[in-house]
Chain A
Amino acid sequence: MVKMLVPYPDRCTGCRFCEMACSLFHEGKVNHADARLQVYKKDVRTDFPSVCTHCVACGEDCCVHACPVEAIKIEDDLVRIDEDECTACGACVDACPFGVMRMEETAFKCDLCGGDPTCVKFCPMGAIKYEEPDAAQYEKVRQFLEGEGA
């Protein structure tokens, strides 16, 4: 198995530090909309680090199949976007169950910071881990998404 970002919502405190660090690392400035991951907060009980898990929610790569111009491909176990091909139609953003596919002039998303994810470094609680996925944890995440419709 390859390593992926795995969310552990029970450990997420909702501080949103990961969003800021992600944005700063990739864009040199802080804007939560530029972050490649989002912390979903609904009430006092719910803090869900929504990361690119490529892709467990539906068991298939939703964004890849949603793209009408085949601009999204899986290469080296990573979701890659061909910016020249992308028409910014937004179909991948709608399809992504984690809400991590972002859109500005073209679609953009998590690239695992080249193999050393910034969000993981800034989460001492271990709510986001970069590891080989654990089936039981994935099942929990899947149930969470079904329950919340995030």
Chain B
Amino acid sequence: MKAYHGRILRIDLTSGKSSVRTIDERYVRKYLGGQGFAVELVYHGMPEGADALAPENVLAMAGGLFAGFPVPTGGKTAFAAKSPLTGTLVESIMGGVIGAELRHAGYDALEITGRAESPSYIFIDDDSAEIEDASSLWGKSTREVPELLKKDLGWDVKIACIGVAGEKLVRFACIDCEERQAGRGGLGAVMASKNLKAIAIRGTKDLEPADPKKLLELALRYQDIMENAPSFKEDTVYGTGEFLGWINKEKGVFPTRNWQSGVFDSREKIDPYYWAPKYVSKNKACFACTKPCGKLFEIDSGKFAGVAIDGLEYETLYSLGSACGNASIESAARGNEICDVFGMDTISAGVAIGFAMELVQRGILTEEEAGMRLTFDNAEDAVPQMLELIGKREGLGDILADGVKRAAERIGKGAERYAMHTKGMEPPAYDVRGMKGHGLAYMTSTRGACHLRAGFYAPELVGKFWRWEGIDRQSPEGKGAMVAVMENFMCVYDSVGLCKFSRGFFLIDKLSEVIEAITGLSFTEDELLEIGERIHNMKGHFNHREGVTRNDWLLPPRVLEDPIPDGPSEGSLITSEQMNKMLDDYMAARKWSADGEPSPDKLKELDLT
């Protein structure tokens, strides 16, 4: 078996000891890499019932199977742990180089347990792994930490770190590596709970593929396919927000003002067709991506002069834009920068602010309690101000830093009615009232409302994908089985470490050839999808074990009761009956109980008992 080292590095921060666990071909055939490895480590490693912020939580990291090899868009790294936001197993995938660097240091995955006595960082320098003092780094931003550490350790060292939001245990704090984030579910707070400020890695070992010539040939083939696809120009000029106008105007499912509308009337001002020519000075890419959707966005004059970010992504155009009624792209960009520097998820942070704005609108919160004029029409100023308060956990920011579910419980007075989440996770930028299957996917996603665990927005908005044609986005029929198999598909993607924007180029059957050129191991399409199913079942089983029940899965009241009031999807909602039918279909397709517990037969079939 080529490409793997057969070694997982385990570091216990409580005892300060590290050890190496060996893995063999059987392990690889079972879990593949990336998300598969990271989820396995948390699933089997964390004692039942541990709090997400307790030393017993396991923080795992692994580069995908392709990470470190030249496969176009295939450089992703997976992090996983129990989430302090949702109480579920959360995995978050980033385009940073840290997972590939770990492989160059000679490890297939990293497992971190325990809690250091004082602020620390881990320095993995090939075979040496040391826990070092980080007291001088505590309080520093995600941009300062790498700079300070590289000065000490060398420019070639790669750094993943947390910012102040992590230190303050903001429940949606993220982990940053070179302006790329493992954004969702509060993995940054898990790191901070372990007194771990950063992970620094220098790897100088070779990665040897089974068939170098074949791998180069495949890389060139897929590179050419991607470069010649129509989406290449759109992605490289306008980034992921390219289809914002289409989602908003043609489909009417662009959630606005905390989901009070599906159409943002000031769409033009946050649309990349407006801002890219004005503010983008160059393209930025994830590690190993030859199809860059990242943008260097710089503002050199006006109220927000000095902003320089790698963004804004489609999701952030919603969360810091339409969700807060914010028509100022400059303000959203500044907000994006605050989130990056403090180290927090732009989606959860923005949705939390939009939620608070609606509470002010309805008189549930006063402006006094908010500490500012927290209204949709004052979003330009309020969004960046409130983001700083969340990052520092000051004032109302301290309440919003726990996510909308906990914030609503704390505020009371019926605030729950306006809290948008499933399993405690704030939803991304697709109004699922007009996309039934994607609504199901928000519920079934093991980390709470997510557009990427099944990626079901694409089949429903386009009407076809992979095995399906003629998909009706307004129909709940057949969506249970489709979402289940798409989740398995995406688990494979996150395990090989491919970008999901490549899923139209590399369907699962295309992956086998690349995997074989790298590892020498052959997998059929069905074998790969079974690995995906195994990974998803581990997450589902973990969640059920940790007390997540059907009630936590359900869609928020607004999706079930308030139809989209205007635009192309006017009148759309998901009825309670449709919701439960889709859930039942899904559970049946998975062979899970109504509460989401995998059946013993299913676990046995997947060799998980």
Task: Mark A residues whose CB is within 8 Å of B.
Answer: 10-17, 20-21, 24-25, 27-34, 41, 43-45, 47, 118, 121-125
**A89 and B21 alpha carbons, distance in the complex (Å):** 41
Chain A hits for B179, CB < 8 A? 44
Say if the beta carbon of B209 comes within 8 Å of chain A.
Answer: yes
A122-B290 in contact (CB<8A): yes
B208-A29 in contact (CB<8A): yes
Of the residues B68, B220, B236, B289, contact of A30 by C-beta under 8 Å: B68
12 pairs of residues in contact across A and B, judged by CB atoms under 8 Å:
A13-B282, A13-B292, A15-B290, A20-B68, A21-B219, A24-B216, A29-B212, A30-B206, A30-B207, A34-B206, A118-B216, A125-B292
**A121 and B206 alpha carbons, distance in the complex (Å):** 23
- The digit string for B62-96, where 1 denotes a CB below 8 A from any CB of A, is 00000011101001000000000000000000000
Of the residues B72, B143, B308, contact of A17 by C-beta under 8 Å: B72
Say if the beta carbon of B481 comes within 8 Å of chain A.
Answer: no
Query: How far apart are A32's CB and chain B's nearest CB, in angstroms?
Result: 8
- The digit string for B281-307, where 1 denotes a CB below 8 A from any CB of A, is 111111111111010101000000000
- Look across to chain B and name the residue whose beta carbon is closest to the beta carbon of A13: B285
- A10-B282, A15-B287 are contacts. A30–B204 as well, Cβ < 8 Å? no
- A31-B206, A44-B310 are contacts. A11–B70 as well, Cβ < 8 Å? no
**A138 and B291 alpha carbons, distance in the complex (Å):** 26
Given A15-B289, A45-B298, A45-B308, 9 new contacts (CB under 8 A)? A13-B285, A17-B288, A17-B289, A20-B68, A24-B70, A32-B104, A44-B284, A122-B290, A124-B223
B289-A13 in contact (CB<8A): yes
A-B residue pairs, 7 tightest by C-beta: A13-B285, A15-B285, A20-B70, A28-B212, A30-B207, A13-B292, A124-B227
Say if the beta carbon of B443 comes within 8 Å of chain A.
Answer: no
- Look across to chain B and name the residue whose beta carbon is closest to the beta carbon of A34: B206
**A12 and B308 alpha carbons, distance in the complex (Å):** 17
B216-A21 in contact (CB<8A): yes
Say if the beta carbon of B205 comes within 8 Å of chain A.
Answer: yes
Interface centre among B216, B227, B289 (most CB of A within 10 A): B216
A15-B286 in contact (CB<8A): yes
Chain A hits for B294, CB < 8 A? 13
Of the residues A15, A24, A28, A31, contact of B288 by C-beta under 8 Å: A15
Chain B hits for A21, CB < 8 A? 70, 216, 219
Of the residues B207, B283, B286, B296, contact of A29 by C-beta under 8 Å: B207
A124-B208 in contact (CB<8A): no
Task: Mark B residues whose CB is within 8 Å of A.
Answer: 68-70, 72, 75, 97, 104, 143, 178-179, 204-209, 212, 215-216, 219-220, 223, 226-227, 232, 236, 281-292, 294, 296, 298, 308-310
- Look across to chain A and name the residue whose beta carbon is closest to the beta carbon of B226: A124
Chain B hits for A41, CB < 8 A? 178
A31-B284 in contact (CB<8A): no
Chain B hits for A33, CB < 8 A? 204
Chain B hits for A125, CB < 8 A? 236, 283, 290, 292
**A111 and B426 alpha carbons, distance in the complex (Å):** 52
A20-B288 in contact (CB<8A): yes
- A24-B212, A41-B178 are contacts. A122–B220 as well, Cβ < 8 Å? yes
Chain B hits for A17, CB < 8 A? 70, 72, 288-290
**A58 and B204 alpha carbons, distance in the complex (Å):** 31
**A29 and B205 alpha carbons, distance in the complex (Å):** 10
**A15 and B96 alpha carbons, distance in the complex (Å):** 10
- Look across to chain A and name the residue whose beta carbon is closest to the beta carbon of B236: A125
- A13-B289, A121-B220 are contacts. A44–B309 as well, Cβ < 8 Å? yes
**A20 and B219 alpha carbons, distance in the complex (Å):** 11
**A11 and B226 alpha carbons, distance in the complex (Å):** 18
**A41 and B150 alpha carbons, distance in the complex (Å):** 12
**A34 and B208 alpha carbons, distance in the complex (Å):** 13
Of the residues B97, B204, B220, B282, contact of A31 by C-beta under 8 Å: B204
Query: How far apart are A92's CB and chain B's nearest CB, in angstroms?
Result: 20
B286-A20 in contact (CB<8A): no
Query: How far apart are A14's CB and chain B's nearest CB, in angstroms?
Result: 6
A30-B284 in contact (CB<8A): no
**A123 and B286 alpha carbons, distance in the complex (Å):** 14
Chain B hits for A124, CB < 8 A? 223, 226-227, 232, 290-291
- Look across to chain B and name the residue whose beta carbon is closest to the beta carbon of A41: B178
Chain A hits for B223, CB < 8 A? 121-122, 124
